[in-house]
Homo-oligomer: A and B are copies of this chain.
Amino acid sequence: MLGFAVLGCGRIGRLHAATIAANPRARLVAVHDTLAASAAEVAARTGAAVAATVRDALDDPAVGAVVIATPTPTHVPLIAAAVAAGKGVLCEKPIDLDLARVDACAAEIGAAAARVLVGFNRRFDPDFRRVRTRLREGAIGPLEQLAITSRDPAPPPAGYVASSGGLFRDMTIHDFDMARYLAGEIVEVQAMGAVLVDPAIGAAGDVDSAAIVMRAASGALVQVSNSRRCAYGYDQRIEAFGPLGMLQARNRHATTVEEWTAERTGACDPVLDFFLERYAEAFRLEIDHAIDVFAGAADPLASFADGRAALALADAAHASAASGRSVRVPTCG
């Protein structure tokens, strides 16, 4: 049984804490948050201890692995500290908003990066995983086109986008990672953004809608469609196309029940909304995978390098949307 500490008890930290507590191969040893009340609440629900400081958590020999679910600017120092303390790390995305800081972190932790996972939960989703498996099995031949539809139910407060790094870095980053997960390395990015949902987001210097095209090193073309608002829920779909056909991962509804009336014929229940529901199984599998990786039984499916690469694509999209030009992405040596 691997002992975990969860740093940060916000929405995503609470989810990880509950997931760890329910995993028969894991034990939730400690939780920490700068808001003591938040940590206490999670501790009460899960039976974990409250770590008064990060240091306490890292010094606890019962803690073998750390989940970093704190605000983004703290990720890099916490990764470094956790690695220095010999812990396995699962860090929420993005590693940082600044590629230079990410690279500095990489230099600092060196080979220990092999024990640092980045929280690209969608890689563990059974539907998207199935697309990847069938692709690798050759079901449609080599990938030629990939279309990712990714829309959040509702926009964050406009204030959030200032600190989040904007749409490409806080939201599309998952899609950039999905592009790499399914299409491999990306070499060229074209992005077009628009403010269609909330003018305040535009006033804050960001976009809330985007259409992106990428070229993979393999030659495949990748399209991403993003919106900060989606009336019918959390729209998460993928379509992969190759010489032998197409694979489609579709939205999941709460039940299979259909309702046929004079007014409508269709799903009785809406699309699963939001990520806590849609990716519940993915989060469970992510923790399972972390346990395997930290035990040396598996290679990271979402590595530090993957975290860096997705951020580099976000930067490229940013540059392309600003300039109207296609941006070349240097592939990592």
Contact = CB atoms under 8 A, between A and B. Distances in A.
A126 B221 CA distance: 30
Given A257-B130, A267-B264, A211 B213 contact: yes
Contacts of A258: 246-248, 250, 266
A271 interface: yes
A209 B245 contact: no
A330 interface: no
A303 interface: no
A260 B243 contact: no
Closest 7 CB pairs of A and B: A266-B266, A245-B261, A324-B326, A250-B256, A232-B260, A246-B260, A211-B221
Interface in A207-239: 209-213, 215, 219-223, 225, 227, 229-232, 235
Given A194-B219, A232-B265, A248-B258, 6 more contacts: A22-B24, A147-B225, A211-B213, A223-B225, A244-B261, A264-B266
A44 interface: no
A114 interface: no
B231 A221 contact: no
Contact of A221 (B130, B194, B221, B262): B194
A250 B267 CA distance: 11
A19 interface: no
Contacts of A241: 151, 225, 227, 230
Copies in the complex: 4
Contacts of A24: 21-22
A135 to B, nearest CB: 11
Interface in A118-154: 126-127, 130-131, 134, 139-140, 144-145, 147, 149, 151
A210 B215 CA distance: 10
A243 B197 contact: yes
B259 A265 contact: no
Interface in A148-173: 149, 151
A190 interface: yes
A188 interface: yes
Contacts of A127: 255-257
A297 B259 CA distance: 32
Interface in A257-314: 257-262, 264-271
A259 B134 contact: yes
A55 interface: no
Contact of A223 (B140, B211, B266, B268): B211
A22 B21 CA distance: 10
A137 to B, nearest CB: 11
A102 B203 CA distance: 42
A268 to B, nearest CB: 6
A15 interface: no
A60 to B, nearest CB: 23
A25 interface: no
Contacts of A211: 145, 213, 221-223
A255 to B, nearest CB: 5
A80 interface: no
Nearest to A245: B261
A11 B310 CA distance: 45
